[in-house]
Structures are given as C-alpha cells and as structure tokens.
Amino acid sequence: MTASRPLRVTRTHASRACILGLIGLGLSSCSPAILNSVGPVGAGNATILIDATVIMLAIVVPTILLAFWMAWRYRASNPDAEYLPYWSYSGRIEAVVWSIPILTIMFISGLIWIGSYKLDPFRPLPSETPPLEVQVVSLDWKWLFIYPQHGIATVNQLVVPTGTPVRFSITSASVFNVFFVPRLGSMIYAMPGMVSQLNLQADSSETLLGISAQFSGDGFSDMQFEVRSLPAAEFMPWVDSVRNTGPVLDQAAYGELLQQSQRVPPSTYRATDPHLFDAVASQKIPPGPGPKPEAPEHAGREVSTGGKD
C-alpha cells in the first residue's frame, strides 16, 4: 500500500479560487432586467446608468493601472527609478489632482440633470395616444390596480396596451412602499395619505415582473405582481372579459382586501366604486393595520422574587 499524497494548495490555486469566487459573487448580485428595458423611461434610466458608469471608469481604470505601474516601477529591485521623496509642491500634480474630479463631477452632474428633467415621473410622456389611467393602492401584502376609465380593477395583475402611455396615481393603504417595474423604469414611493404620479410606457408585448422595493413586513418577499403588455387590439377584449366576470369592488370588498394576506393570486373585479381611490388616498377609509412589531422577549414575563415580598 502506498501512502496517500497530502493535498497541497498552492498560492496560485488560492488566487484563482478567490478570483473565481469574486466573479461569481458579482454576477449573482447583478440583474440584466434594468438594462433590458421595454419602454422609453426604462431606456432613459439605462442610458444614465451606463453613461455614469463609463465616466467613473475613466477615473477608476487609469487609477488602478497607475497604482500597479508605480508598484512595478519603484520596486526595490529597480535601482534606475528616480526616487525624490523630499518635495513640497508641484503645480502639475495639483492641476491633475483637482481637474480630473472637477471634470468628472461636471460631466455626471450635467448627465443627471438632463436625465432627471426628461424622466420626471410627473411629466407626461410625449405621445399622440391618450394615456391610460391606472390607480394603484399598496396593501399588506398585495397590489390593487383600478382602471377608472373602464370601471374595473385587478389584484396583483397589471395589464396595459403597448405603445400607450400609462399614467399611474399611486398611494398606500398601509405603510410606505415602493412601486417598481424594473424593465419599465423609475421606481416611486407609495405613501399613505398622499398620491404620487408616474408615467410609463411599454413599447412591446411582454410579460414583466413588478415588485415592492421597500421592506414592509412579513409578506414583503411575496409582494409581487405580473405586468402584461398586450397589443392595442387585444387590450379592449381583455377589458370586456374582466367586465363579465368577478365580483364588484365596493367598500365592503375593499375591507376584505385591506386585511393582511400573503401570496395572493391574481384576481379581477368587474366593477368598482368610482370614489374608492380618493377615499383611500384621503384616508376617509381608515388605513390597514400595517406590519406589527415583534414583542420583546421579556414582554409579559413576571419577575420572580423567589416567594419573598
């Protein structure tokens, strides 16, 4: 019998393992959904993100390369490198040190200022097609979508026509939340007692994922909704199909929705109370209970005195 050879991990193997691990971690934390936009707002967000990254890489990459070059140039085994540690001021170095950050801030500021103006969530999207109005209510832990122009409503399902601007009016019936469809762009807060506005548009027929982008309690991880962008010719038949099925969304039905529930399947309402959204936004209808904080471990416990007064 021969003795088994002990496992030896060399420095090269360890370095390769570390590099592969960092690459895997980076890839696992990135999602291409934001860059794979299906509308003008998402495309504008992606452009800002890419342009800002390129501008910052123009500083980061040369800085990293310069650090490696200096380490190689002024290594201990290179006697030809001129080393002048005793200097007090260099106008050239000061010019480089200050000009590069200033130019970078100017470029990024201009880029963000122009993009922020074009992508103002309250700004209507330029289109000859009248916008579709959708009222959004954030609940625990589900999303309610009301179509006031058609008198219908859906839960955890948003259907929009392609090529048509959609004007969202967003509020919350519980705690703060964030409405976000990554491939359409521009997340925005849903706030109790207030109405936010957001204008989006889908330019192709897709099935997208909408999410809640702010932690709001136990059911947060499942607080997602499906977004379907249908061709304009198929949108009205879908509206007609909803009008023929499902219950009516009145204040009694809304009271049931207001109760906390998780993993709620998509559903529809064939008719809605036209004043329901305004009543929720103005809090004429009391808000939901909201997430309940956990009681401390010592709450409700009696302190033992060992039978002594």
pLDDT tens digits, one per residue of 146-189: 999 999 999 999 999 999 999 999 999 988 999 999 999 888 99
Residue 279: pLDDT band with limits 50, 70, 90: very high
Whether residue 308 is contained in a domain is answered as no
Q: Looking at the predicted structure, is the pLDDT value of residue 121 above 60? A: yes
Beta-sheet pairing, 267-269 with 177-180? unpaired
pLDDT at 91: 81
Phi, psi at residue 204, to the nearest 5°?
-145, 160
In terms of DSSP bridges, do strands 248-249 and 271-272 run parallel, antiparallel, or are they unpaired? parallel
Kindly indicate the confidence band of residue 294, based on its pLDDT and cuts at 50, 70 and 90: low
- pLDDT digit string (tens) for 11-42? 444 444 443 343 343 433 345 577 888 889 98
Count: domains in the chain: 2
- Based on the fold, state whether residues 115 and 137 are members of the same structural domain: no
Is residue 16, in this structure, part of any structural domain at all? no
**Residue of higher predicted confidence among 86 and 206:** 206
Residues 115 and 195 in one domain: no
Tokens of 241: 């199909």
Same domain for 175 and 45, yes or no, is: no
Q: Give me the mean pLDDT over the 79-103 stretch.
A: 79
Q: Which long-range contacts (CB under 8 A, 24 or more apart) does 251-256 make?
A: 251/276, 251/279, 251/285, 254/280, 254/285
Residues 157 and 239 both lie in one domain: yes
Regarding predicted confidence, which is higher, 12 or 269? 269
Q: Are residues 136 and 97 in the same domain?
A: no
Q: What is the pLDDT of residue 24?
A: 42
Residue 67 domain-assigned (yes or no) = yes
Question: Which residues form the domain of 213?
Answer: 132-281
Q: Which two tokens stand for residue 85?
A: 């540690």
Q: How confident is the model at residue 81 (pLDDT cuts 50, 70, 90)?
A: confident
In a domain, 52, yes or no: yes
* For range 49-53, the mean pLDDT: 86
Q: Which residues pair with 169 in a beta bridge?
A: 135, 197
Q: In terms of DSSP H, where are the helices of 29-90?
A: 40-73
Residue 57 has pLDDT above 50, yes or no: yes
Q: What is the CA radius of gyration of the chain?
A: 29
Give the CATH number, domain containing residue 62. 1.10.287
Residues 203, 259: one domain? yes
Write the CATH number for 274: 2.60.40.420
Residue 218 within any structural domain of the chain: yes
Residue 136 pairs with which residues in a beta bridge? Answer: 145, 170
Pair 59, 165 in one domain: no
* Pure H helices in 244-284: 251-257, 276-281
The reply to whether 55 and 103 lie within a common domain is: yes
Instruction: Examine the domain organization and report whether 157 and 271 are in the same domain.
Output: yes
Q: Are residues 48 and 109 in the same domain?
A: yes
Percent of the chain clearing pLDDT 90 (strictly above): 38
Separation of alpha carbons 239 and 228, rounded Å: 13
